[in-house]
Amino acid sequence: MIRRARARDLDAIVALENASFRGDRITRRSFRHQLAGTGGTILVDVERGRVRGYVLLFLRAASTVARLYSIAVDAGARGRGIGRRLLVGAEREAIRRGRAVMRLEVRKDNAASFALFRTAGYREFAEKDDYYEDGMSALRFEKVLRRAVRARGRGTTSGRKAA
């Protein structure tokens, strides 16, 4: 089940973060801050009370762009579609919160993430050199979630991507 993270999920989320990433880890304090609802949303995949994965989504005020900041799945639960379900949940939350585009960065050496995002309709649009603390580059991806509504609010849609 995908649901919004709660304060009691903090330990499990931090454990997933630490097990999933060698560097560039999100701190316990940062996760706690996001759980308080200040600019971000954390969704978790839970089965029988156990958190198997999380996704952290940033939603800046007055922006049509959502940023998928981090996604992690427990190593023992990979290959079961959890990452895909978390991604779909993040996209739905972004749309619900009025965002038209989702953007994210992926380590250039993370083939599994490339496969997930490309299969889900994301397209690569840029590369950022020396993005991660170990010097690895990041590839930037984006997906149009919905067409942007024209500024006049007539309910018509634009044929161009929101930026």
59/57 Cα distance (integer angstroms): 7
Residue 8: phi and psi, rounded to 5, are -70, -10
Report DSSP letters for 124-162, one per residue: EEEEETT-STTS--EEEEEEE-SPPBPTT-SS-B-SS--
Q: Cβ atoms within 10 A of the Cβ of 39, count?
A: 12
Q: Answer with the residue of higher pLDDT: 113 or 150.
A: 113
102/85 Cα distance (integer angstroms): 15
pLDDT tens for each residue of 16-52: 999 999 888 999 999 999 998 777 899 999 999 999 9
The rounded percent of the chain whose pLDDT value lies above 70 is 89
Cβ-contact 110, 124 below 8 angstroms:
no
Q: Tell me what the pLDDT averaged over the chain comes to.
A: 88
**Residue 118: pLDDT above 50?**
yes
Q: Cβ atoms within 10 A of the Cβ of 146, count?
A: 15
pLDDT tens for each residue of 119-140: 999 999 999 999 999 999 999 9
Cβ-contact 138, 127 below 8 angstroms:
yes
pTM for this entry: 0.86
140/67 Cα distance (integer angstroms): 11
Domains and CATH numbers, the chain: 2-104 (3.40.630.30)
Q: Give me the count of residues in the chain.
A: 163
Nearest to 43 by CA among 78, 73, 81: 73
Q: Which helix (H) or strand (E) holds 71?
A: strand 65-73
